[in-house]
Structure 1
Amino acid sequence: MTTELIYLTLTLMLAASLWIPYIVGVNMHPQTGVDDFARPPALSDFPEWVHRAHRAHLNMIETAMPFAALLLLAHALGISTVVTVWASIAFFWLRALHAVGMISGLARFPARPILFTVSWLCTLAVGWQVLAYGAGG
């Protein structure tokens, strides 16, 4: 397995697990008079960290899917460069730091937007490699 696929696997495992802090928070602070299956309670009814955990999960899903698609496209095209390797490593660690920082509330402005933006740049870097090296295939 390539380095890119190892880090993509780790990234997707993180994405698949980020629902856990939110659910833990929801269960630690049950809301009365609410039918969770009809309509979940408003996030504003929970402590701030629970709301941030929900946002961290959504944000990870939003960013991981385009990154994964581009990295898998690169793999299918046989593209593996120093850029795709380092982008996959950086993306995982940036997203892990983003999630921990967001849920804990420690990553405030400008740290959290910087982590997000650099991970987005990793996605663009992989896309650029696909366009640059895939066009000749």
Structure 2
Amino acid sequence: MTIELKLLAWTLILAIVQIFLPSMLRNRETGTAYNAGPRDEPGPPVGVLTGRMMRAKSNLYETLPLFIAAILTAHIAGREGSLTHIGAWLYLIARVIYVPLYAAGIPYIRSMVWLVSLLGVVLAIAALF
């Protein structure tokens, strides 16, 4: 398996972690009985950290399909090389760093880290041409 595919697999693990983070935090806020039920009635307000983790997850989902498509297309087309290698590393590392920055509510630096992750996607796409 190429390094790009391994990094894609680790990125998918990160996505799973980001699914569970807000869920676990929300369980603390509402209790498991509420979350296990149909949730017909609104629960208590979403806490600050839970909200941040929900938004961080949503943010990941904005670029993750592009990253997946770029890495898989490069692999299938035999276009893996330095651009996809660097791009995949940039994307994964930046996305890992992004989570605690968002949790801590750190502005600007978080946005710069997001731009680094986007650069990773752009590099992987550039390798296709």
Q: TM-score range by the shorter chain?
A: 0.7 to 0.9
Tell whether the 8 Å contact from 2:14 to 2:96 is kept in structure 1 after alignment.
yes
Quote the offset at 1:40 in angstroms: 5.2
- Report the counterpart of residue 38 of structure 1 in structure 2: 40
Quote the offset at 1:41 in angstroms: 4.0
Quick one: distance in 1 between partners of 2:39 and 2:72? 36
Runs of 5+ consecutive residues of structure 1 not aligned to the other structure:
133-137
Higher share in helix = 2
CA RMSD of aligned residues (A): 2.1
Runs of 5+ consecutive residues of structure 2 not aligned to the other structure:
none
Q: Identify if the C-alpha distance between structure 1 residues 8 and 30 changes in structure 2 by more than 3 Å, giving closer, same or farther.
A: same
Quick one: distance in 1 between partners of 2:42 and 2:93? 32
1:112 to 101, 105, 110: 110
Quick one: distance in 2 between partners of 1:47 and 1:65? 28
CA deviation vs aligned residue, 1:115-137 (integer Å, no higher than 9, x gap): 1111111111111111x2xxxxx
- Report the counterpart of residue 135 of structure 1 in structure 2: none
Q: Identify if the C-alpha distance between structure 1 residues 36 and 51 changes in structure 2 by more than 3 Å, giving closer, same or farther.
A: farther
- Letter of the aligned partner of 2:68 in structure 1? A
TM-score w.r.t. length of structure 2: 0.87
Q: Structure 2 matches for 1:52-91, cutoff 5 A?
A: 52-91=52-91
Identity of aligned residues (%): 23
Quick one: distance in 1 between partners of 2:54 and 2:26? 10
CA deviation vs aligned residue, 1:10-50 (integer Å, no higher than 9, x gap): 0011112211111111111118x9975336547xx122101
The residue matched to 1:18 in structure 2 has which SS?
helix
The number of residue pairs the alignment matches comes to: 126
Quick one: distance in 1 between partners of 2:121 and 2:84? 9
Q: Structure 2 matches for 1:2-17, cutoff 5 A?
A: 2-17=2-17
TM-score w.r.t. length of structure 1: 0.82
